[in-house]
């Protein structure tokens, strides 16, 4: 059974910023970024515990995107079958954050 996906406000803002940044660099690059993210969102919704957990925050998980230098952080509420996307970090700009 798939889990529902919810973006927290900070993650939504970071996602929007990344999309527009890539679109400014090249037309449709933002779309390609979103397509890769959507691929991972589908994987996560089908198997939310597949990706590595955070050693400091037990329920926080992370998934690095393949093509774009971003890491998505999320946590899972098994009771409500909901995945909360907490943050989207640019791995080269904020390496110490994760």
pLDDT at 67: 97
pLDDT at 2: 84
What domains sit in the chain, N to C, each tagged with a CATH number?
Answer: 4-90 (3.30.2310.20)
Tell me the whole-structure pTM to 2 decimals: 0.85
pLDDT at 1: 63
Of 86, 96, 95, 93, nearest to 21 by C-alpha is 93
d(CA 13, CA 10): 5
d(CA 32, CA 67): 9
Show Cβ contacts of residue 93 under 8 Å, excluding neighbours closer than 6 positions: none
d(CA 22, CA 32): 9
pLDDT at 3: 92
Q: pLDDT (tens digit, 9 = 90+) per residue, 7-35?
A: 999 999 999 999 999 999 999 999 999 99
Helix (H, G, I), strand (E, B) or coil at 30: helix
Provide the b/e sequence for 13-47 (b: ≥16 CB within 10 Å). Answer: ebbeebbeebbeeeeeebeebbeebeebbeebbee
Residues of the chain with pLDDT under 50: 98
């Amino acid at each position: 059974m798939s889990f529902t996906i919810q973006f927290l406000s900070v993650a939504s803002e970071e996602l929007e910023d990344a999309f527009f940044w890539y679109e400014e660099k090249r037309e449709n690059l933002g779309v390609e970024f979103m397509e890769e993210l959507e691929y991972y969102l589908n994987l996560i919704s089908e198997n939310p515990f597949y990706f590595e957990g955070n050693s400091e925050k037990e329920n926080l998980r992370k998934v690095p995107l393949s093509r774009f230098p971003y890491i998505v952080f999320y946590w899972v509420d098994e009771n409500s079958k909901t995945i909360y996307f907490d943050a989207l970090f640019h791995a080269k700009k904020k390496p110490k954050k994760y």
